Amino acid sequence: MVYINEGSATVSINENIFNLDTNDCIFIHSNDIHFIRSDETAVITVLKAENEYFKDIFASRKLLSPIIDKHINVEMFLNSVYSEIYSSMDHSDIMADSISTQFFIMLFRSEPTSVWENVSFKNLHMPQLYREIRTKISNEYDTITFAEAASYLHFSEPYFSKVFHKLFGMTFTQYLNTVRIAAAIEKLKVGNLSVTEVSASCGFNTIRNFNRVFKKYTGYTPGDLPPDYVFLYNLQEDFGLDPTLNCSEILE
């Protein structure tokens, strides 16, 4: 959950851009792809809730809009949690969890929500599927298509889409673009290929599309990428990529 104490910030969630001002708050589910960008004068509070602890609240429902209505006193809630965390009283951590639990229940009761699609995966061996499709993409990220990936697992495309999101916490396109951009960054750092050559070698059909996706995922154009830039998800040791990791990439 991101709360703007002072100033303004831009938050991207699953390719949707939200411009936030003072006292605005946005809720980001654990599987959402997101980043936060703000100027140096902004004051922002970020509260990260352990998905496992609150799974009974978050498991089956999702907020229709990530923007939390201003009638909900987020600032009071955050101050209460902050006071407990940094107090010297007994069991302050338990109290902070309790306050958070009550807040999230109230939030999901009062804000419009949707039910997660209930797809049966009971006959699938999910760890094996995860390894197979991840290896397939890592070996063929420059050429593989959604249809080819679905065919590889002998799934229909609609069913493959649901299984893939269950496995990786994002769509096939979002995952593939993440892998391609990570590869592109490594190739740009080596410096023996032009931007056009890097674009083509990573599977982008046009340089314009490559520049657009690269800027969205890194905050920079390929030509302006700082030499010491570190992509949150990189290609070291089998990609080092955990797309379900609950974290943000601070671009500025």
| pLDDT at residue 207, rounded to an integer | 95
Which domains can be identified in the chain, with CATH numbers? 2-115 (2.60.120.280), 126-250 (1.10.10.60)
Task: Provide the pLDDT for residue 169.
Answer: 82
Q: How far apart are CA 250 and CA 102, in angstroms?
A: 29
- The pairing of strands 34-38 and 113-115 is unpaired
Contact 184, 202 (CB under 8 A): yes
pTM of the full predicted structure? 0.49
Q: What is the pLDDT of residue 244?
A: 39
Give the SS3 label for residue 104: helix
Position 123 scores a pLDDT of 57
DSSP string, 109-166: HHS-EEEPP----TTS-HHHHHHHHHHHHHHHTTT--HHHHHHHTT--HHHHHHHHHH
Q: Are the C-beta atoms of 138 and 148 separated by less than 8 Å?
A: no
Give the pLDDT means over successive 10-residue stretches in the chain (252 positions).
93 86 90 80 89 74 87 93 90 92 92 64 70 91 93 82 85 93 93 94 94 92 89 48 40 38
pLDDT at 229: 86
* pLDDT of the residue at 116: 55
Res 55: pLDDT: 75
How far, CA to CA in Å, does 202 sit from each of 88, 114, 171, 177, 228?
53, 36, 18, 9, 21
